[in-house]
Structures are given as structure tokens and as C-alpha cells.
Amino acid sequence: MFKGLKPIQYAGREVWPLIEGGKGVSATNHASSGAWAAAGGIGTVSAVNADSYDEDGNVIPQVYEGRTRTDRHQELIDYAIEGAVAQVERAHEIAGGKGAININVLWEMGGAEAVLQGVLERTKGKVAGVTCGAGMPYRLSEIAKQYGVYYLPIVSSGRAFRALWKRAYHKVPELLGAVVYEDPWLAGGHNGLSNAEDPTKPEDPFPRVKQLREMMRKEGISDDIPIVMAGGVWFLRDWNDWIDNDDLGKIAFQYGTRPLLTKESPIPDIWKDELTKIEEGDVLLHKFSPTGFYSSAVKNPFLRSLQGRSERQIPFSTEKAGEHTHQLDVGVKGKNFWVAAGDLLRAREWDGQGFTTALKTPDNTLVFVTPEERAMIRKDQADCMGCLSHCAFSSWKDHDNYSTGRLADPRSFCIQKSLQNIAHGADPHENLMFAGHAAYNFKTDPFYSNGFVPSVKELVDRILTGD
């Protein structure tokens, strides 16, 4: 047992202060989360587009029949509720009364409140708590109180937590299960970098977590309410100075990336195999996500194609003005596209390389793509089922008039499609592959030598040694 690590009280029982990160869209399901709980930790079922099953136990494909986006959006909510309920029930059975089961939702996912309420209504007594980030989930505490579960907000700064506490959480202090500090430079998936923070200059998490604890103390929150360190956590020995540290209070640790490579992990073998090839620096913090948030994912051909698309970008105006002195004669139809002389030459070069179609962005720029890319972008935008509360790629919004009012952005992509694809066996090179920045350890950690893939129990036991 790693020196100083002690069980914590959660949901009326003793559990290890080890939490499985709830990776969305079928990357964390009942098998992994139930096994994590059975090993004595807190397993986390992803309630983001989770899989549901037919009577024979086969995954039900999420096919959308609705003719309008609002119709498809309701189908998405129905799929999400059925899937998450199925995952929770199976995870609860696997856990066998050990550990605890949380669910995870993204506040910025489409229909988040409807999904959360629909799942909690049907899983009473089986879900201990709800972790929630990707936005400012002010209503999380109110919903938790309605169903008698803990809430665990995911924040990336003390300032963000204080805003949530002042506005809403102070009314439900008794159900605050923990505060998850997700390092915005190290965590996989969507990251909470603010406009004041430089994505290229990572900050030491210790002072930021210390500040979070100080803010919690000022609000009268007990040191027994854990702060969960998430992002970049691999070896517990790296965090030795955090355990039993009076400046931090009670600390727990969340593992998002490491549980991807276990026997119970539901991701396809082709994805697991790719994890073992990641080198240090292969995970990119980027801003291509249609959520508008920064996001960390493996620099694979899919991500590089998005990088290339944005690099093939020039500003334009609809009349001759300023630097825009030349009419664009490639990629567009009509004569009302004026660009700078140098950009005209670049556009002609891209056209010669096969990027013969220009698409407008909301920022008065044009990106150059192949005709095949254009067809895919337009189809994906037309097929939108409203998986986000606000989507830059399709201009969808899940309330009011169902439109963000901005031009759909071809520099982004359909995140629902890509994550469903990779989770169900499609080529990891051609889809978004989320991973934390410590994923290169799969290749260097001797625990995984000779192609060894542990069970969840073996992984938890290994983590408990400090390694």
C-alpha cells in the first residue's frame, strides 16, 4: 500500500480515494466502472450517448429517423436515457455492493438536464453521485437534491468553483460530494482554460489546488470534502507531497486515461493498440471542438487534417477595400470575394493541390477543402441531431429558436459522429481520439511491457502500490 493513502467515506461506505474518470460516448461503460467499484474505488459510468442493448445483449445502433433537428434531438435524449440506465444497472450488479458508482455528464451536451433527470429517476439507490463539467453547471446541486445523490462539479480554477458556490451550491452544501480539479493543460477531453490562461504555458497544479481549498475554507466547506486531482495522474508516487498535506485537505485522484487500457475497457482493441504507440508530446491541446472549449486528443491524421484545414484559410471581404485588392478566382462562385494579393497566390496554390472548394467561416474567412471534404462537411451538418447545447459546427442550439445565429463553422467537425465511430470499431486514425497528456506512459511504464493488458482489479492494485 502506498504510504499515507487512506480510504475515504463516500456514500456511506469506505472507498479508496481513486475515481475512474467518466469518458463520454461509450468509452467508459458498465464493465469498466462496475469493476472499478468492485475493486474498492469509485467507478464512473458515462451518461453521454451511452449504449443500450436489445434482448440478446447486442448494442442498439443509434439511428436517427427524425426529419428535423428537433425531432432527432429528442431521439438523442431518449437514446441517452435508455443507454445510461442500462449501464448503471449493469455496473451496479458488477460492483456487488462494493465501492460506489457515479455517473458523468457534460453540462454542455444537448438536453443535459433532461438526460440527467431521466437517468436519476430510474436508477434510484444505484447512483451515488454525479460528476459534471464542460460548462458551468449551476443547476447540478438542485437536481442532486431532487434525487438525493451527491454532486461533484468539475472545475479548473478556484474562481470557477466560487462562482458556482455563490450562485447555487451554497443552498445544498450537504450533498457536495467532492470538487474535481481538472488540470486544463494535462487532462484528456475538454478542458476549462479561461481567456486569461495561455494554452502554451502550463501552470503547476499545486498552487491552483491550494487556492481552491482556500476558497472552499472561506465558504465554510470542511476539509473532509475531498478535492479530486484529475489530469496527468499516473503514478501515485508523483503526488506523494499532496497526500496528508495540510494546505490541501483531503485529496483523491481521478484516472481517466489509464483505465482505457484494461481487459474490461469497452473501447475496441484497435484503439487500445494505438494507445501503446503514443509518444511524449503526441497529445495536442487544440480548439477544433464544436463546443468552443479547448480539448486534448492524440495528434492522429484526423486531427492533423483539421489543422491543415484551418491553415488553408484566408480572410476576405465582399468589396474591394484595404488590403483586399484582388478578386478571388478559385474555390468560389461569383466575383464578390476580395482578398489580399499574397492570399490570392496561396489560394491558387491550394487549388492546384486539389483543395478546390472554399467554405465561409463565421469569421469572414474562407477555408479551402477538397470536394469530398465539402460533401462530408455538408452532410454531417445536415444530419445534426443536437448533441451539444451549442454547436459551432452546425449552428445548433438546444433551446429557444434552436440556432446559435452564427454561420456553421467548417473548421470544426461532428463530434457525436466521430466519438461514436471510434468507440464502436472505426479506424482510430480517422476519428477523434481523446487522451490525457500522460498517455505516453503506456509505452514507457514497465507494467505494460510485452503487451500486458491488466484487468481493472490488477490496475487498481498496481496504482495502490504507488506505481
Kindly report, residue by residue over 338-352, the tens digit of the pLDDT: 999 999 999 999 999
Instruction: Please compute the mean of the pLDDT values over residues 35-55 and round it to a whole number.
Output: 95
What pLDDT shows up at residue 460? 97
Mean pLDDT, residues 173-183 taken together: 96
199 pLDDT more than 90: no
Output the pTM of the full model. 0.94
What does the domain layout of the chain look like in residue ranges? Answer: 8-281+439-464, 294-430
Rg, C-alpha atoms of the chain: 23
**Predicted pLDDT of residue 2:** 73
CA within 13 Å, CB half, 175 = 21
Q: What is the pLDDT of residues 351-395, one digit of tens each?
A: 999 999 999 999 999 999 999 999 999 999 999 999 999 999 999
Exposure string over 95-105, b if 16+ CB within 10 A, otherwise e: beebbbbbbbb
pLDDT given at position 26: 84
Say if strands 357-360 and 150-155 run parallel, antiparallel, or are unpaired: unpaired
- Beta strand 129-133 with 150-155 is parallel
Burial class (CB in 10 A: 0-12, 13-18, 19+), 65: exposed
pLDDT at 94 (0 to 100): 98
Residue 1's pLDDT is 65
For domain 8-281+439-464, give the CATH number: 3.20.20.70
3-state per-residue secondary structure call for 245-307? CCCCCCEEEEECCHHHCCCCCCCCHHHHHHHCCCCCCCEEEECCCCCCCEEEEECCHHHHHHH
Q: What is the pLDDT of residue 192?
A: 82
Which of 159-168, 194-203, 400-409 is the least confident region?
A: 194-203
- What's the Cα-to-Cα distance from 192 to each of 159, 161, 390, rounded to whole Å? 12, 12, 16
Q: What is the pLDDT of residues 138-154, one digit of tens each?
A: 999 999 999 999 999 99
